[in-house]
Amino acid sequence: MSAPMINVTLPDGTVLEVPPDSSIGDVAAAIGPGLAKAAVAGQIDGETVDLGTKLSGDAAVRILTERDDDALAVLRHSAAHVLATAVRELRPGAGIGFGPAIDDGFYYDFDVPEPFTPADLEIFEAKMADVAKANHPFERRVVSLEEARALFADDPLKLERLEEFSEDEVITVYQDGPFLDLCRGPHVPSTGSLKHFKLLSGAGAYWRGDEKRQMLQRIYGTAFFKKSQLTEHLERLEEAKKRDHRVLGRELDLFSTDPRIGPGLILWHPKGAIIRNEVERFEQELILRHGYDLVYTPHVMNERIFEISGHLENFKDGMFGALDVEGVAYRPKPMNCPGHIAIYQSQQRSYRDLPIRMAEFGTCYRYERSGVLHGMLRVRGFTQDDAHIFCTPDQVPGEIERLLDLVDEILTAFGYPYAISLATKPEEKALGTDEQWDTAVQTLADTLESRGVEFEYDKGGGAFYGPKLDFKLIDAIGREWQGPTVQLDFNLPDRFDLEYVGEDNERHRPVMIHRVLVGSMERFVGGLIEHYAGAFPIWLAPEQVRVLPISEHFLDSASDFVDQLKAVGIRAVLADRETLSYRIRDAEMHKVPYMAVIGEREAEAGTVAVRKRGAGKKQEVIDRAEFVQQVQGEIESRTLD
């Protein structure tokens, strides 16, 4: 008696019958020869697999082609293996670490005596082309733990990884030509699928991310299905280099770090401090209008409060070590919520008091590994625009709606489009019951859906104490940045035994909503530098007008005009040294929004010759009072032009 046919449900709902033991490739062929030729990989019940993967029973199947986003990760993972194949052929003794696909590309880690050079990367890239041209099939094998140890007997990194497997665990290896790797897959059918790729850079990376282990050499690269996509990506990377906030921060004198102070700790220079202050001032005006009260809490706190909050249990590795204060352990705060909870508990609260909205520009400290520190974007000390809302369960939907309006208002002011994701319960280190999490997630989803707001789920991406809404900012060149977050929390109110007296005179548990609008001030300003490429809109610009007398004969007139500008709060600077052409170039290099040139005609007529940033040599002669009024209007309206 023959085995029953397998029912395959396709994405459009069509059910296809295929013989038992059919592969994903067989399913593609059954649908049509064109799809079989274009297929890159497949999905069985949502899990991405190789084309050679066999069906074990009825399943929902999707065939992936180069038009599917999920296929790109498969191509890039395969590109990492092609890179390792090339390196191993040229450097036979190289130890092999991990080689995953990542956002925008892939990397592979190698254990070698000396760091790779840019010239090495060019040689490896050329060898990768040879490996791709050879069109080696990616062959998957299931092996026992004993077999795997024998296969990788000469590679201590792989042997260490194998120690984490149990005897009955499924272990798979992949081979392409001469290269064999311990890998779960999936991969494209053969190395010939890799046509458009580029090795980008090399960097040091500790084995398994542990700074106590050996330093490996990581090679980053990217790959695409189409040459036009690769070209566009490389052009975007070049543009990103021009916008690098670390370079611009130095050129524009905005911030620095100092090894004597410590890595990941930002020194705000006067010009950078102006930008930060303008952001904080704008946000403060905004949140006060939205019903918040400002509070301040200490930078260090008794360790006991972090035991109650769960931070020591779930976030200890991200906290700085304890300080001994008269025999009591204190820690720099990693976040502001425990202090706000203490303020809430400082007196009895009634339902009439709620919602209570506390906001703080509070400096926090987190222990980030030195290898991940990156300018202003990843730091150890940062100021966070934290706020916490204490409300009744019935008030939650209204508060979430209010927050959606607030987020939209602040991001629009900076010119950021954005996307929203709803992050759900993490698999590990989550406080609270499944019922609490389900209720919280559903509340957030219902509120978004009732407003017709588009969002996607981020499975397992929630904080340890509750689900959250993440707002991803999209910058001027299409990159995503971490933006505002809104976190719904039923757990900390339980852990701290928070209460309010209800209308029934009984004690009830409030709901706590955590939110940040810009998040870390350091990361947000670093992102703004790159978003604007250092050319800040006039309301944020550290220097708004630079006044340039043509010669020293008109210095008094220029100085008077600077005083006129400063008198109404415009940040103006008098530039009277060096030649005029040098001063103009310097103003352009520092991306000053306006240059106001004063010569004989302007001094006599009470006018200025105005050059606007980005307008080249074009200038307009305008009455000084009119120019002042124009600049004031642009600042007050926070124009983005």
User: Does 121 score more than 70 pLDDT?
Assistant: yes
Q: Which residues of 331-364 are buried (b: 16+ CB within 10 A; e: fewer)?
A: bbbbbbbbbbbebbeeeebebeebbbbbbbbbeb
The DSSP symbol for 55 reads P
Q: Report the CATH number at residue 554.
A: 3.40.50.800
The reply to whether 317 falls in a domain is no
Percent helix, strand and coil across the chain, each rounded to 5? 40, 30, 35
316's tokens: 């200890």
Contact 391, 355 (CB under 8 A): yes
457's tokens: 């789920």
| pLDDT for the residue 117 | 94
Residue where a domain stops, chosen among 65, 85, 104? 65
Per-residue CA distances from 428 to 184, 314, 422, 512 (Å): 22, 9, 18, 22
Contact 75, 220 (CB under 8 A): no
Q: Report the CATH number at residue 178.
A: 3.30.980.10
Catalytic residue numbers? Answer: 337, 366, 384, 386, 388, 468, 514
The reply to whether 284 falls in a domain is yes
265's tokens: 């700790």
Contact 110, 72 (CB under 8 A): no
| pLDDT, mean over the chain | 92
Same domain, 23 and 122: no
Count of structural domains within the chain: 4
**In whole angstroms, what separates CA 154 from the centre of its chain?**
38
Domain extent at residue 607: 545-636
Same domain, 524 and 550: no
Residue length of the chain: 641
Q: Report the CATH number at residue 31.
A: 3.10.20.30
Q: How far apart are CA 518 and CA 283, in angstroms?
A: 9
Same domain, 341 and 408: yes
Same domain, 205 and 341: no
| pLDDT for the residue 81 | 97
The reply to whether 314 falls in a domain is no
Angle at CA 620, nearest 5°, toward 614 and 625? 110
Contact 339, 298 (CB under 8 A): yes
Same domain, 57 and 75: no
The reply to whether 237 falls in a domain is no
User: Does 27 score more than 70 pLDDT?
Assistant: yes
Sequence-separated (6 or more) residues with CB below 8 Å from residue 591: 252, 534, 535, 536, 541, 613
256 φ, ψ (degrees, to nearest 5):
-155, 170
In which element (H, E) is residue 641 found? Answer: none
Same domain, 30 and 77: no
Q: Where are the alpha helices (DSSP H) in 387-486?
A: 396-414, 434-450
Same domain, 87 and 172: yes
| pLDDT, mean of residues 513-527 | 94
The reply to whether 309 falls in a domain is no
Q: Report the CATH number at residue 502.
A: 3.30.930.10
Supply the pTM of this predicted model: 0.83
* Local confidence band at 2 (pLDDT 50, 70, 90 cut-offs): low
Rounded to a whole number of angstroms, the distance between the first and last alpha carbons of the chain is 76
| pLDDT for the residue 586 | 94
Q: What's the pLDDT tens digit per position in 525-571?
A: 999 999 999 999 999 999 999 999 999 899 999 999 999 999 999 99
| pLDDT for the residue 436 | 81
| pLDDT, mean of residues 428-454 | 83
Sequence-separated (6 or more) residues with CB below 8 Å from residue 198: 125, 221, 222, 223, 230, 234
Q: What's the pLDDT tens digit per position in 194-245?
A: 999 999 999 888 888 777 788 899 999 999 999 999 999 999 999 999 999 9
Angle at CA 194, nearest 5°, toward 189 and 197? 155
237 φ, ψ (degrees, to nearest 5):
-65, -40
Q: How far apart are CA 36 and CA 18, in angstroms?
A: 15
The DSSP symbol for 207 reads G
